[in-house]
Amino acid sequence: MTGYAKTFVLMAALTALFMGIGALLGGGTGALLAFVVAGAMNLFGYWNADKAVLRMTGAREVTAQSAPEFVGMVHRLADAAGMPRPKVYVIDTDQPNAFATGRNPDNAAVAATAGLLRRLAPEEVAAVMAHELAHIQNRDTLIMTVTATFAGAIGMLANFAMFFGGRDRPGGALGTIAVMIFAPLAAGLVQMAISRSREYEADKVGAAICGNPMWLASALKKIDAFAKGIDNDAAERNPAVAHMFIINPLHAFKRDALFSTHPATANRVAALEALAAEGKRWGKVGVAARGPWE
């Protein structure tokens, strides 16, 4: 199934979920209203969700004039991978992290936090950005971005149940409680299903783009350690975008791995170490993508 087909299926599923919540809250009228809203969100999600996500995370665009080394590195990586050059953004938070967004490779953006640029070695930054370019190349970004906007909306709709639910609503108080509990859970499970399998593939492709799997393995270990102790305020305010980051930016208590939006970092590192152990030459792409530190 192509990326566009998967996105269509996801949009249809989330629309149905949205309508189901609307029906619980307002019966037939609620379902119809939810359908209209979902239709508008589908259109918005396809054309503008990337801009919404960038605003939600507080990302600001940088250029070759304002951030020459970082932008130049991203451009070299994209050129080496034979991709269009994405727009480049920086998020003013100390937690090292990064994500990619956009509906296709011709309309894409990558974003890194100030903490990533400050706390990681240049080759590790390159590996992280190569991972994000891999998401763009694999056409993951559309489905991830649309999911972020829908999941946020579903969570808001569930919260409305607290104020507008009642015995006179279909399903009564029990229906309201069910919406409040299961709607965010359903949205979270969709995020989980999208993220987990895609991260491994983006790690593999990103290692090929940057030229060295161990650069990315080292970066993942550092980001994971820092993320556990440094808040990402924008992500905490908008948890629906958490699945887009290379490492989960949210703080959480120990919980079953089933409910994690990302694979375990140790498993990702092990997979990258296995790639490096194969003895494969990571030649021309890596050489072309190297940065000013060499």
> Which residues are catalytically annotated?
132
Sheet with 107-113, strands from edge to edge, namely 59-62, 87-91, 107-113, 98-104
β-partners of residue 61 are 89
**Helix locations, the chain, DSSP H:** 3-56, 68-80, 114-119, 122-137, 141-164, 172-210, 213-227, 233-237, 265-277, 283-289
| CA gap 262, 269 in Å, rounded | 13
Nearest partner of 133 among 213, 44, 56, 209, judged by Cα: 209
- What is the SS3 assignment for 118? helix
The answer to whether the CB of 268 falls within 8 A of the CB of 220 is yes
Report which of 145, 141, 142 is spatially closest to residue 131, judged by C-alpha positions.
141
Alpha-carbon torsion (284, 287, 290, 292), positive or negative: negative
Whether residue 82 contacts residue 104, with contact meaning beta carbons closer than 8 Å, is answered with no
CA dihedral 108, 113, 114, 117 (to 10 degrees): -80
d(CA 272, CA 266): 10
